[in-house]
Structure 1
Amino acid sequence: MASVRQVQVTFDSADPERLAYFWCEILGYVVPSPPGGFATWTDYDASLPVESRGRAFVCGDPTGVGPRLHFQRVPEGKVAKNRVHLDVRVGTGLVGDERLAALEAESDRLVALGAVQVRVLHADGVDESCIVMRDIEGNEFCLD
């Protein structure tokens, strides 16, 4: 029998630290403490060779339940639709108008942070409503 493994989700990014803090706001995640001997991540980053500064950043679920998110700097921008995306579960247990209101309220909060609402998918008798969004670097995700 296979053992359960932890999952880390990695995002390619132009600005890893900025994108990490954006996702912290969405998910209630936190940035871990900097390595020993450094008061801040900025201090740690300044200790690295110039070519390594700002190359990656991480955040995680403060309860330890959700996956760690890793953001890595890449030179190219996003050019195509994601093949994998995150569903941010804000409407769990809700149906109909109550669910849609919760999704729209969260969408409004995230748009104020820089996200973009792409489209609302209304309940169709099989699936409940969800909202397709893009984060501050264009990565698609859903409010579900």
Structure 2
Amino acid sequence: MATVRQLQITFDCAEPERVARFWCEALGYVVPPPPEGFGSWEEYDRSLPTEKRGAWFACSDPTGAGPRLFFQRVPEGKTAKNRVHLDVRAGTGLVGAERLATLQAECERLVALGAVCVRVLLADEENESCIVMQDVEGNEFCLD
């Protein structure tokens, strides 16, 4: 039997802290405390060499149930569709109009935080409704 390991999801991005703080708001995640000996993340960041400042940021599920999200600065911008994306399960267990209304309300909340609504996929014979979105740096995710 395989050993169960913890999962971390890593995002390449231009502004790690900005993207991390969006996901904190989107998912109810929190920023972990700064490293020992530092009163804040800003203080820690100032202790680093200039080229390493703001190079990464992280957030985690306060319940410990969800994966840690890690954001690392990369020099290149996003150029293509994500090959992996997050599904934010806002409508679990809901169907039809109730599900769509719940997803649309969550979409509006996330748009107010800087996300972009790409398209609404309405329910058909096989699938329930979902909403394709992008975070503050264009990373695709779905509300489902």
TM bin (shorter chain): over 0.9
Does 2:28 align with 1:28? yes
Output the TM-score relative to the length of structure 1.
0.99
Cα distance in 1 between the residues matched to 2:133 and 2:51: 33
Cα distance in 1 between the residues matched to 2:66 and 2:114: 23
* Count of aligned positions: 144
Which segments of 5 or more consecutive residues in structure 2 lack a partner in the other structure? Answer: none
Partner of 2:84: 84
Partner of 2:64: 64
Partner of 1:137: 137
Identity of aligned residues (%): 74
Which segments of 5 or more consecutive residues in structure 1 lack a partner in the other structure? Answer: none
Partner of 1:74: 74
SS in 1 for 2:19: helix
SS in 2 for 1:9: strand
Does 2:85 align with 1:100? no
Residues 2-13 of structure 1: matches in 2 within 5 Å? 2-13=2-13
Does 2:37 align with 1:37? yes
Cα distance in 1 between the residues matched to 2:143 and 2:49: 39
- Divergent runs of 4+, >4 A: none
Cα distance in 2 between the residues matched to 1:102 and 1:62: 23
Q: Which amino acid aligns with 1:103?
A: L
Cα distance in 2 between the residues matched to 1:6 and 1:127: 30
